[in-house]
Amino acid sequence: MAIAFQPPSSDKAELESGAAFTPRFDEHGLVTAVVTDARDGELLMVAHMNAEALALTIETGIAHYWSRSRKALWKKGETSGNLQTVVELRTDCDQDAVWLKVSVAGHDATCHTGRRSCFYRSVARDGDAARLTTEDDNVRFDPAAVYS
Amino acid sequence: MAIAFQPPSSDKAELESGAAFTPRFDEHGLVTAVVTDARDGELLMVAHMNAEALALTIETGIAHYWSRSRKALWKKGETSGNLQTVVELRTDCDQDAVWLKVSVAGHDATCHTGRRSCFYRSVARDGDAARLTTEDDNVRFDPAAVYS
């Protein structure tokens, strides 16, 4: 039996303190998904889910997303082997975002560049611009080989 | 002198490995901002920034967002006192999201409900629906008094 999400309440108090999970999908039918490593809390990636991806994630315990670039359901790690098992799923006060604490299989890498996290660069001011510094350059798999 | 962001490169390799911070604002002029506590990595909130909010954040070291509900620049904590000082700012591989590691002033609370984090509820399957369980009900300030 598949999960169906009921439409969100227009009552703010119900959204914030009720027991029903009624995700507030945006005009593209998406919620934001923040993904951290259940092991140490490191932020791994930010992605989006439509209702199908969110239901599949809850039903299977494996993270599914909606790829905005490919306009397709995306079972994360299906190609690379870096599947994400969901240890805990949370939602926020107004139910338009979810937080997945995951355990990453395979190379223990989430970014398509081969790094552990997509957030491998810091931002700092440089006069009237901002510059990036690479904080993690440990590439854990060869993207050219994995995605060929 | 204010910070100005250059338009993003159409070259994927430049976006992923170049030294220029060229945020990829969406059709609403926004990037996603993930906010964690610099102290222990706890996910506090997810919000959005337009170019002005992002520039002000970098220039002042205090987190600014764009409120989609109020359609206005939002200096987080201006009313509640729970200002966020940015300890580190990062961006992701394709530069459409930023990660702020912050130190929270005031009540050490980020959610407008008074809780430390907006993600105070977990989601679990319940037959063909999904239900919420409150994981943190420690309300650190009285929203009715603070936002009156």
Residue extents of the structural domains in chain B: 27-146
For residue A25, name the pLDDT band (cuts at 50, 70, 90). very high
| Residue B127 to residues A2, A5, A26, B131, Cα–Cα distance (Å) | 8, 12, 25, 10
* pTM exceeding the 0.95 threshold for the entire prediction: yes
Residues of chain A with pLDDT > 70, as a percent, come to: 99
pLDDT of residue B77: 96
- Provide the chain B residues 15-44 that lie in CB contact (below 8 A) with chain A: 16-21, 32, 34, 36, 40-43
The amino acid present at B59, given as its one-letter code, is: E
Cα of A91 to nearest chain B Cα, Å:
5
Would the CB atoms of A123 and B21 count as touching at under 8 Å? yes
Per-residue model confidence as pLDDT tens digits over B76-100: 999 999 999 999 999 999 999 999 9
pLDDT of residue B134: 98
pLDDT of residue A148: 84
Per-residue model confidence as pLDDT tens digits over B24-39: 999 999 999 999 999 9
Cα of B76 to nearest chain A Cα, Å:
16
Per-residue model confidence as pLDDT tens digits over A65-118: 999 999 999 999 999 999 999 999 999 999 999 999 999 999 999 999 999 999
Chain A contact for B79, CB < 8 A?
A: no
Distance of CA A67 to the CA centre of its chain: 11
Chain B positions in Cβ-Cβ contact with residue A136 (cut-off 8 Å): none
> Rounded distance, CA A115 to CA B29, Å?
28
Kindly state the average pLDDT of the residues A18-47: 97
Does the ipTM surpass 0.90?
Answer: yes
Chain B positions in Cβ-Cβ contact with residue A2 (cut-off 8 Å): 128
Nearest CA to A2 among A51, A37, A38?
A: A51
DSSP string across A70-105: TTEEEETTTTTS--EEEEEEEE-TTSSEEEEEEEE-
Is residue A1 pLDDT above 80, yes or no? no
Distance of CA B4 to the CA centre of its chain: 20
Kindly state the average pLDDT of the residues B68-77: 96
pLDDT of residue B2: 87
Please give the residue of chain A at the shortest CA–CA distance from B130: A21
Alpha helices in chain A (DSSP H): 12-17, 51-60, 143-146
pLDDT of residue A2: 87
For residue B147, name the pLDDT band (cuts at 50, 70, 90). very high
CATH superfamily name and code, A27-146:
Phosphoribosyl-AMP cyclohydrolase (3.10.20.810)
